[in-house]
Amino acid sequence: MARRMLKVGVGGDVARSPAVLPRRNRRQAALALDPMPDRIKPCLALLAAKPPEGNDWLLEVKWDGYRLAIHIERGKVRILTRGGHDWTARFPTIAHDALELGLDSAILDGEAVVLDERGASDFGALQRALGGRGGKNSAAGAILYAFDLLYLDGRDLRGLTLDERRDMLTSAIKPHASIRVSEELDADAAEFLKLACTLGLEGIIAKRRDAPYRSGRGGDWLKIKCIQSETFLILGYEPSPAALGGIGSLFLGARRGDALAYVGNVGTGLTATTATALRKQLAGLTIEKPAVPIRKRGMVWVTPVLPAEVAFGGWTKDGNLRHASYKGLREDADTSEVYRVDA
């Protein structure tokens, strides 16, 4: 299975019965149609320490990109971010291929990614393709891994079970270069997680097969990570003429109640290009004193508004990040939650 996963971008094949729910034609006026939602807030995965056991859970790769909803309606496409922002123009290939699916109306739920040479998703590569935080570039080479179908041909599918929605999704998605089904993996959850970690992936997702689609983080979906990756706010940076882009390290903060708490710094993962661009953004946010009490001289402190995605290996005893590596900035449109520490 490892070889197959590497070849197809860590996907897999599962023998399933075809969808048994009939598709309805919006042009048949005699049939009552469900109103197409303008926006559906996404179902979010709850972080779990270990994979669940049993056959009640569907397993998928955890993709590392931007969560998107693809709205198709009568020859038009809208691509919405998790926060509801219209990013259709930023994913032109996905928008084009969505129309090629030949669906009268549909809402696909999935993750836009850029794959590396191993077939694994690379968040930094996606960010660079989009021109960085606040950039206006389009990621023409991005791929959408669709993992749910919320609406199809006049029918709201959210009340169906995940298995039923997945059957309809696999029937609706025809092979396209930029739109693929995020495959279900027929494997023991613990073994799948071990393999995903061996391959250097971020982790796996487990979803209740019999659950309807519920917005929010209710526990129907779980994420189990190999390497922790969370969003922190940049508090400031240590300037260094010898470092890439002049940034020696970034100082990071997490939310603690209504305030912020210092959680350590990160210097690994910055490139000359990303560090230079980041320093320009930070230049317009400088303040005299740090937003949280930190005793460190020679620092440039900034208003803590820029959310940085950081991978790390764990926590030290004094509450700092261990083996941290910078991945990129999160967009406001993605509305990624800033990590919270215990009060």
pLDDT digits (tens, 9 = 90+) for 151-186: 999 999 999 999 999 999 999 998 778 999 999 988
Classified as helix, coil or strand, 196 is helix
The Cα-based distances of 261 to 138, 232, 335 in angstroms read 35, 10, 20
The Cα-based distances of 115 to 8, 17, 123, 308, 330 in angstroms read 11, 30, 9, 21, 18
Specify the DSSP class assigned to residue 218: -
* Per-residue confidence band for 330, with pLDDT thresholds at 50, 70 and 90: confident
Q: Which residues contact 30 (CB under 8 A, 6 or more apart)?
A: none
The Cα-based distances of 80 to 32, 174, 212, 218, 309 in angstroms read 27, 21, 21, 22, 21
CA atoms within 13 A on the CB side of 146: 32
Is residue 207 scored above 60 in pLDDT? yes
**Does residue 143 contact residue 180 with C-beta atoms inside 8 Å?**
yes
- Domain boundaries in the chain? 2-14+34-225, 228-334
Q: Which residues contact 16 (CB under 8 A, 6 or more apart)?
A: 166, 167, 170, 184
Classified as helix, coil or strand, 205 is strand
7, 62, 207, 317: the active-site residue: 62
- Specify the CATH architecture of the domain 228-334: Beta Barrel (2.40)
Nearest to 68 by CA among 35, 97, 90: 90
pLDDT computed for residue 180 by the predictor: 95
Q: Any catalytic annotation for residue 62?
A: yes
* Per-residue confidence band for 218, with pLDDT thresholds at 50, 70 and 90: very high
Task: Quickly list H helices, 160-270.
Answer: 162-172, 189-198
Nearest to 253 by CA among 273, 275, 231: 231
pLDDT tens-place string over residues 268-286:
999 898 899 999 999 999 9
**Does residue 313 contact residue 252 with C-beta atoms inside 8 Å?**
no
116 compared with 205, residue with greater pLDDT: 205
Q: Which two tokens stand for residue 188?
A: 């023991």
Enter the CATH code of domain 2-14+34-225: 3.30.470.30
* Per-residue confidence band for 25, with pLDDT thresholds at 50, 70 and 90: low
Q: How far is CA 139 from the centre of its chain?
A: 15
Fold identical between 2-14+34-225 and 228-334?
A: no
- The fraction of the chain above a pLDDT of 70, given in percent, is 89
pLDDT computed for residue 343 by the predictor: 63
* CA dist., res. 11 & res. 201, Å (int): 12
pLDDT computed for residue 103 by the predictor: 94
pLDDT computed for residue 24 by the predictor: 55
Q: What is the pTM for the complete model shown? A: 0.75
Q: Which residues contact 329 (CB under 8 A, 6 or more apart)?
A: 127, 132, 133, 278, 281, 306, 307, 308, 309
Is residue 266 scored above 80 in pLDDT? yes
* Per-residue confidence band for 23, with pLDDT thresholds at 50, 70 and 90: low
Classified as helix, coil or strand, 36 is coil
